[in-house]
Structure 1
Amino acid sequence: MTKKMFASDNNSGIHPLILEAISKANDGHAPAYGDDSFTSNVAIKFREHFGEDSDVLFVFNGTGANVIALKAMVRSHQAIICTEGAHIHADEGGAAEGFIGGKLLTVPTEDGKLTVSQIEQQLVHIGSQHRSQPKAISISQCTELGTVYTIDEIKQLTSFAHANGLLVHMDGARISNAAAFLGCSLKEMTTDAGIDMLSFGGTKNGMMIGEAVVCLRKELAPELKYIRKQSMQLGSKMRFISVQFESLFSDNLWLENAIHANNMALQLAEGLQKIPGIALTQPVQSNAVFASIPVEHIHQLQKSYGFAIWNIEKNEIRLVTSFDTTQEDVNLFLSTTQKAFE
């Protein structure tokens, strides 16, 4: 086994219970394309977490979940408001605009969060036939900077959006980490907070492959299965994705994994703050640590560890912990970092 990295929670392995569930689902045959009992059973679990009126469908990856959710909300002459650092803008190869045909209207932000005033500034050209018409906003929970919207902040955004005829999408690739930080249920910060469409992440939280599109606005649901097929995200052997979510929701494994990853990030951050010359650049509210480190030490650390250089100008790096990050992993990285400064 290679040394644990801190580059991404995508680098982690598969949780043993999920791997076991996949193996059990491999016994015999089952109907294809989601007509199996695993898929119907886990749909019930999703309704338990998001409400009886919620609909769910499973896809291969986060980009697929995002573009399917957004295409159900936005037509090609319309626009989606998001931050400059939003995954749909910065890390999906133009998939949203390419697949939907609409436009992303981006705004700068210091902490990864959208605000009502920023959204309001993007609405001044509503009604102009020369401009893409804003129809949706997309927020990330957790944000790409590891910060977390409070429930009140989400409600402020959704209330303003709905009052102005906008729909709200949440990119929840790390939504479990946000719930762990806030100490709330999934429903409290989505359905109850006014979110219309959610991309629910599984891969970053212990699954092998698979994400979910959770529709929380009934009138948007009928088109989703056709959009999924057209976007090449319909899995034939879907039971192997569904059974992972079933395992994730059993005995609150989703929350246990997220709490552990968050705790490892906090311990990592606390250790880094004790080293002169290192400064945290964002509050640690999830499983990501953002820190400024002198460039010569960054290069030295990269000889031993993989991690992301987030902002070259600020000498800012990102370290991400996972469900399988151990105290020993954290201590070893801190020890290596301390030696690099000696």
Structure 2
Amino acid sequence: MQHFASDNYAPVHPEVMAAIVAVNDGAAVSYGDDPVSARLQDRAAEVFGASARIFPVLNGTGANVISLMAAAPRWGGVIASDCAHIHTDENGAPERVGGLKLLAVPNVAGRIGPDAVDRWTGDLGDVHRAQPAVLSLTQVTELGTVYSVTDLKLLADTAHAAGLRVHIDGSRLANAAATLGVGLREITTDVGADIVSLGAAKNGGMLGEAVVVLSDGVGDAPSDLSEAVPYLRKATMQLASKTRFVSAQLLALLGEAGTPVSGAGEGAPLWLRNAAHSNTMAARLRAGLEAAGLTGPDPAGPAEQTGLRFAYPTEANVVFATLPRAAADRVRAHARFYDWAPGETPDRVEVRWMCAWDTTEADVDEFVAVVAAAL
């Protein structure tokens, strides 16, 4: 059966698997004091800037919780979109484990603007309210949209002006960079982010992500966040004893020291090749559905809604659409995917179709044909 459910379904990329096998030779110091992790640190400084510090962890929720705990005091709050992963899909971990109040603001196609900061900064100094301490931005957003470099810079500047730190949940950061045609530094360090949850598993990794602490803006000095993360990583059970195997995956994706940090074609780092491919497959999927003439009447109009309707722009590796529930069930017999939200009417449903590094053109074309037949 095909899958368009999640990029987490994809297998480990062969280059990542080879990197794991390559470091599985002999003993190595545990808990990150190994040569592979040292090479990863050197590479992180090349990719994100000289002051960057990278800390491998076990999963994305752990990376987010550690990042937010490092960036906020115990009484702090985290401003985030109301559809952010930390708010909707981590079982309250930032609040349960991190002890931080999430301050949700309405999204527009997944994104939030500078007014999200203004909405909560009036609570600063009020002992009765959680104190806004961090602005958390999801890149790519939960709805598959991408913040521009300009938007990220404006959001970070607004947050910093109010005394807040900036966290980027980058579980699909690679896809955003591929969409924007920039390197990872241009949408993290250079826009003013303080700390990043760097995804790997959704982009060809086996397991493990990373917390990346960036500059605090004072010369090349590392942020004080880098002093907190090691202790938080251990306290939250995210420190792997055999860290070299997580580091090897991240290093395979980012590339060894001295190799290009961005680029195009076969010379590009693996993170970019994988992300660009999955983005291209999603664009092909949307284009194929559009070309098949499957879209129905305007949802704002009175006509009966019988066709396919796109819910959001396709800016990364995912397509959101609404269609009749009966048709969605017919498609589900051929490919696994998730229902995302109710549709425009009770007999319709919004679905998410996700592409991954291993999605092929044949997969996409076959899926388009299945959707067409179901409708």
> CA shift at 1:303, angstroms?
1.7
Distance, in Å, in 1 between the alignment partners of 2:251 and 2:122 is: 45
Tell me what 1:326 maps to.
360
- Structure 2 residue aligned with 1:111, among 88, 109, 112? 109
| 1:264 has 2:264 as partner | no
Q: Tell me, yes or no, if structure 1 residue 233 matches structure 2 residue 238.
A: yes
1:14 aligned residue: 12
Contact kept? 1:87, 1:144, Cα under 8 Å: yes
Where 1:143 maps in the other structure, the secondary structure is coil
1:55 paired residue among 50, 53, 56: 53
Deviation at 1:125, TM superposition (A): 2.0
**Cα distance in 2, alignment partners of residues 154 and 142 from structure 1:** 12
Q: Which residue of 1 aligns with 2:254?
A: 249
2:321 maps to 1:300: no
SS of residue matched to 1:239: helix
1:231-290 Cα shifts (integer Å, max 9, x gaps): 000000111111111111225011000000000000001112232311211111100111
Structure 1 residues 313 and 339: alpha-carbon distance in aligned structure 2, compared to 1, 3 A threshold: closer
Structure 1 runs of 4+ with >6 Å offset: none
Report the secondary structure of 2:61's partner residue: helix
SS at match of 1:180: helix
Q: Report the Cα offset of residue 202 of structure 1.
A: 0.3
Q: Which amino acid aligns with 1:165?
A: G
Match of 2:229 among 224, 233, 237: 224
Alignment of 1:188-207 (within 5 A): 188-207=186-205
State the partner residue of 2:125.
127
Partner of 1:85: helix, strand, or coil?
coil
Report how far residue 109 of structure 1 moved: 1.2
- Rounded to whole Å, the distance in 1 between the matches of 2:2 and 2:14 is 17
Residues in 2 aligned to 1:325 and 1:141: alpha-carbon distance in whole angstroms: 21
CA contact (8 A) 1:32 1:236 kept: yes
Give distance in 2, aligned partners of 1:4 and 1:19: 22
Say if 2:77 and 2:100, in contact at 8 Å, map to a contact too. yes
Q: Which amino acid aligns with 1:42?
A: L
* Secondary structure of the structure 1 residue equivalent to 2:30: coil
The aligned length equals 339
TM-score, scaled relative to structure 2: 0.89
Moved more, 179-188 or 304-313: 304-313
Q: What value does the CA root-mean-square deviation take over the aligned residues?
A: 1.0
Structure 1 residue 30, shift from structure 2 partner: 1.0
Query: Helix, strand or coil: the match of 1:72?
Result: helix
Report matched runs for 1:67-82 at 5 Å: 67-82=65-80
Q: Normalising to structure 1: TM-score of the pair?
A: 0.97
Once the two structures are superposed, the pairs formed by residues 119-198 of structure 1 within 5 Å of their partners are: 119-198=117-196
Letter in 2 for 1:231: T
| 1:183-232 CA distance string (max 9 Å, x none) | 01111111010000000000000000110100013121101100000000
Structure 2: 5+ residue runs without aligned partners? 217-222, 256-267, 296-306
* 2:186 aligned counterpart, secondary structure: coil
- Single out whichever of 243-252 and 47-56 deviates more from structure 2: 243-252
Structure 2 SS opposite 1:122: helix
Counterpart residue identity of residue 309, structure 2: A
